[in-house]
Chains A and B, each alone.
Chain A
Amino acid sequence: MKDIAVEGISRRWGEAAAVDDVSFTVAAGTLVALLGPSGCGKSTTLRLIAGLDQPSAGRIRIGGADVTGLPPARRGIAMVFQSYALFPHLSVAENILFGLKVRRVEPAERADRLRRVADMLGLAALLDRKPSQLSGGQQQRVALARAIVAEAAVCLMDEPLSNLDAQLRLEMRREIRALQTRLGMTMIYVTHDQSEAMTMADRIILMRAGRIEQNATPAEIYGRPATGFAGRFVGTPPMNVIPAAAAAGLPGLQPPAGPHTLLLGIRPEAVRLDPAGLPAEVVAAEYLGADTLVETRLGGSPFVARFAGRVEARTGDVLRLGWGPEAAHWFDTGTDRRMN
């Protein structure tokens, strides 16, 4: 098992920095998700760790060794690409064995490892097929198999599930996480899907515009988002972030002292109907079965509330909304930083 340390890496193209002074560590045998909207630098960070791209500044260590200048093949990593990058003219078996053949592993051992990996991922019956004869999910498994068969201590994943349908994605999430735990791999998993990051990762590194917004466990990032952006990005529906003034009339609301103009973040699921609460005009209501999402306007700002079960709310109705004091997240209007 190997850990990964990224120390102050940047990647610039001329003036623009895709990755700007990013540092983090990944403990051996854990899964860290690099999460963020498209263009936030998460994929570039992964490519820098893989060695497919060279950083403009900073160092990368894998298992303590500085690999910054090494070619990808000598970093002891495996990688799964978003498009799978399967060789279209080679059979499934040949695809999986490609790296082992390049590295001149003994044929007997190759066969042995192929069988093990194929059994593990349920590919045994498909070994003679070409990638074009496989479904998306099967191709995904082949890509995984190719990464696993290398028995590298570190596995990098670049949005591996984004080309699959929703149902399959849920299945593969569990499967990848189970494999990662079972094989004790250190894994960096790039995704723009916060639910993927929440369900799979030991830690989430949330990125925005080339910088790290927050590096925390899923529970922390949900419970104590470091910025308004983090609050809005993690959780569905996203956190309501409104100017503090819009909620000024609510009794028991205690904004942190200071000269700052504040934003108030309230998770939709923390909102409850409260006769003493603030009046909010209903804009729309969506009934989802287990709960109802009610979109309202509160003090002029859009505000979504989530109630368990079915709530009768018609457009134009006025609801009184409240929340516990522990549900309030305060952010600075200027810096977006958490204040409480």
Chain B
Amino acid sequence: MTTRARDTLIGWALLAPAMTLLVAFTHWPALASLIESFYSTARPRRPARFVGTANYEQILADPVFWQAFSNNLLYAAGTIPVSIALAILMAVWVNDRIPGRTFARVAYFTPTVLPMIAVANIWLFFFTPGYGLLEQITGAFGLPSHNWLGSPETALAAVTVVAIWKEAGFFMIFYLAALQAIPPVLAEAASLEGASRWTFFRRVQFPLLMPTTLFVLINAVINAFRMIDQIIVMTRGGPDNATTLVLFYIYQVGFSFWDTAYAAALTVVLLALLGLVAFVQYGILERRVHYR
């Protein structure tokens, strides 16, 4: 056997374990979902048959899907800008030479380390009507009691707040790393020119953080559309579908109603949507990002 052929063989052998897992549990299921979305759901007495785009037509006519979709847009619009802004703010703050900055960094990062199930349960307590933390505070000021998670008007906002709390610290770590890659001499040069802290941030730090912002933004969008554990623990999509997000709806359709073909079609729509968003983000922002 020639060296080259042997190298190729060894290369493939080394790739094989990871490749097997990826193909078995990622690539094939994705492809299978796409195929299944064009079939009807198999029932005990009626096997799956090809139905063309019937599932997709159903999606267009499905009011719950549209509500889940608009909920998801609101959820994304609420979590993404706020958590990114908070992340930058915290990162800039704990990047400076402040006393106890290691403590501050750890404190900000803690929510990320906690599992979402635990976080959701903690916040469930905060939001509990009657004796929850929030109620105790508002009650102390004599404000009327409010069921934050139980009312359709406030449930989505309450869930959004939790997501912001959990994500901001995670994004902060990326910003912190990026800030530390900016040479300190730039700050000195700017201070010699008389630039204020804000000017330095606006004209130097923020533009130099753009690659990180792009990365974080794409992650934030993906996170916003694949959020499910928090919903399951906190609201189960209720009240009256007020907090049903797209992935939770897919989960419900697939595993509560067992309409797997329809769930497959919904999954394909979600994937296409995410792909499109990532494509647009790269396409538009890439040109405005300065890479070093």
Contacts and interface: CB of A to CB of B under 8 A. Distances in A.
A195 interface: no
Contacts, number: 61
Nearest to A79: B192
Contact of B188 (A85, A132, A150): A85
A85 B193 contact: no
Given A52-B188, A81-B188, A81-B189, A88 B290 contact: yes
B198 to A, nearest CB: 11
Given A87-B204, A89-B208, A98 B190 contact: yes
A50 B183 contact: no
A87 B195 CA distance: 13
A34 interface: no
Contacts of B193: 73, 98-99, 102-103, 150
Given A88-B290, A88-B292, A99 B188 contact: no
A99 B292 contact: no
Nearest to B196: A102
Interface in A64-93: 71-74, 77-79, 81, 83, 85, 87-90
Bin chain B's interface residue count.
20 to 34
Interface in A1-55: 50, 52
Nearest to A147: B192
Contact of A71 (B189, B191, B290): B191
Looking at chain A, what size class is its interface with the partner chain? 20 to 34
B290 A89 contact: yes
Interface in A104-156: 130, 132, 150
A71 B193 CA distance: 11
B195 A102 contact: yes
A163 B189 CA distance: 18
B194 interface: yes
Interface string B175-208: 0000000010110111111111001000110011
Given A81-B185, A87-B204, A89-B208, A102 B194 contact: yes
Contacts of A50: 192
A85 B189 CA distance: 6
A77 B194 CA distance: 11
A78 B192 contact: yes
For the complex of A and B, the 9 pairs showing the least CB-CB separation, nearest first, are A73-B194, A99-B193, A89-B290, A85-B189, A85-B185, A89-B207, A72-B192, A102-B195, A102-B194
9 contacts: A52-B188, A52-B191, A88-B290, A89-B208, A98-B203, A102-B194, A102-B199, A103-B193, A132-B292
Given A81-B189, A102-B199, 13 more contacts: A72-B188, A73-B195, A77-B192, A79-B192, A87-B189, A88-B208, A89-B208, A98-B190, A98-B195, A99-B193, A99-B194, A102-B193, A102-B194
